[in-house]
Structure 1
Amino acid sequence: MNEIFISWILFVSIWAFAAMGYDKRQAKRKARRVPEKNLWFLAFVGGAIGSYAGMLIFNHKTRRTTFRIGFLLLAVVYILLILYLLGIDILKITSR
């Protein structure tokens, strides 16, 4: 079951990363954009890691404090969830 959740997070992160890249390209072209609520939705349902990576790599939405902080916090939550599902005890690692 853990593999399913991790696979979901990976899948949605790739999707969110691509959405950030597409939205950046559309912004440069002054064409129809991806609605912000869709970007947030992808981040909330598991794509926060991809959203944050896309934000940094494409330099997109970096001036928006809600995106910078929100995507970062969600990404940290999903990274911790992945570590938990993999059985990695973060407290043991930090106490060495």
Structure 2
Amino acid sequence: MFELYVFIVNMLGFFVMAIDKQKAKKGKWRIAESTIWLVSLLGGAVGTMMGMHIFHHKTKHRLFRYGLPFLALFDIVIYIILYK
């Protein structure tokens, strides 16, 4: 069950970045940064960070550039602790 949650929340983070990047390119309504952070804080930081790098989205924002890797590392440590 835990593995399924981790997979889903990280896929959600990845796709949130993909969708927001596409909306940014088209000049449409965007996903709020608070929503991106919420998904990340709920355990999806690894997927969100992967989406950030793959789609080159939010990479110039210092908070994302430095905050997401820190949060992703924190998530990985938590995953390891809870998985044991």
TM above 0.5: yes
Aligned-residue offset at 1:16: 0.8
Q: Distance in 2 between matches of 1:79 and 1:6?
A: 12
Off by >4 Å, runs of 4+ in structure 1: none
TM-score (norm 1): 0.81
Unaligned runs of 5+ in 2: none
Q: How does 1:1-96 map to 2 (within 5 A)?
A: 4-87=1-84
Task: Provide the aligned length of Structure 1 versus Structure 2.
Answer: 84
Q: Which amino acid aligns with 1:40?
A: W
Q: Distance in 2 between matches of 1:17 and 1:11?
A: 10
Q: Which amino acid aligns with 1:8?
A: Y
Unaligned runs of 5+ in 1: 88-96
Aligned-residue offset at 1:15: 0.5
User: Whose Rg is larger?
Assistant: 1
Give the secondary-structure state (helix, strand or coil) at the position aligned to 1:63.
coil
* Percent of residue pairs identical: 35
